[in-house]
Chain A
Amino acid sequence: SAVISQKPSRDICQRGTSLTIQCQVDSQVTMMFWYRQQPGQSLTLIATANQGSEATYESGFVIDKFPISRPNLTFSTLTVSNMSPEDSSIYLCSATGSQETQYFGPGTRLLVL
């Protein structure tokens, strides 16, 4: 199994600003993902963070709005850029190793005013 930590756990931001969320895994993992979850809703995949190359974004998500880095096998960041109130959500990092199971971080609760 893998233990995942995220920073910050929550933040309140002003519209037009950007926030970078960090995700740290305690062991080397194959895949890392970033999700968004609105209250009472399903997890929506934003992108797959690829080590050493550009992230793979899902439909509706673009690099300019959600730039992602993954400099090594245990760390990734997601930036929410030029934020608006519609970006208020919970952002979750996850990772998989050799099995299909995903391990999730505790999430970052973002409120944009």
Chain B
Amino acid sequence: SQKIEQNSEALNIQEGKTATLTCNYTNYSPAYLQWYRQDPGRGPVFLLLIRENEKEKRKERLKVTFDTTLKQSLFHITASQPADSATYLCALDDPGGFKTIFGAGTRLFVKA
């Protein structure tokens, strides 16, 4: 079955720097990969979706890359701000149906 690996250790960075989060998967290559943001006590919020035939996608200060050879996605937040502090979840489609498989997430702390 598909496994998603995200760094369980929190990432601490200084305001203004670029945060880079990693998502690795172990089995089949998904048709698409998504990133969500989750704040404490709240449900996840969709950020970006990248398809298997796309190498990179950008949205404002966010950038996602997708390397199907390495089975890895990188999520970048440029010019990070304390308001970017949250848990970021990687999610893949399940080819057997309409389900989505979520990683455990990486907690990001941006210090002012």
Interface size on B, residues (CB 8 A): 22
| Stretch of B15-23, B43-51, B58-66 contacting A (4+ beta carbons < 8 Å) | B43-51
With known contacts A31-B98, A45-B99, A104–B43 Cβ distance under 8 A:
yes
Q: A42 an interface residue at 8 Å Cβ cutoff?
A: yes
Q: Bin the interface of chain A by size.
A: 20 to 34
State the Cβ distance, A111 to closest chain B Cβ, in Å. Answer: 14
Q: Which of B84-101 contact A (CB under 8 A)?
A: 89, 91, 93, 97-100
Q: Is the interface of B mostly helix, strand, loop or mixed?
A: strand
Q: Is the interface of A mostly helix, strand, loop or mixed?
A: strand
Residue of B nearest to A107 (CB): B43
Partner of B104, one of A4, A42, A101, A103: A42
Chain A to chain B: the 4 pairs with minimum beta-carbon distance, closest first:
A104-B43, A42-B104, A43-B102, A101-B46
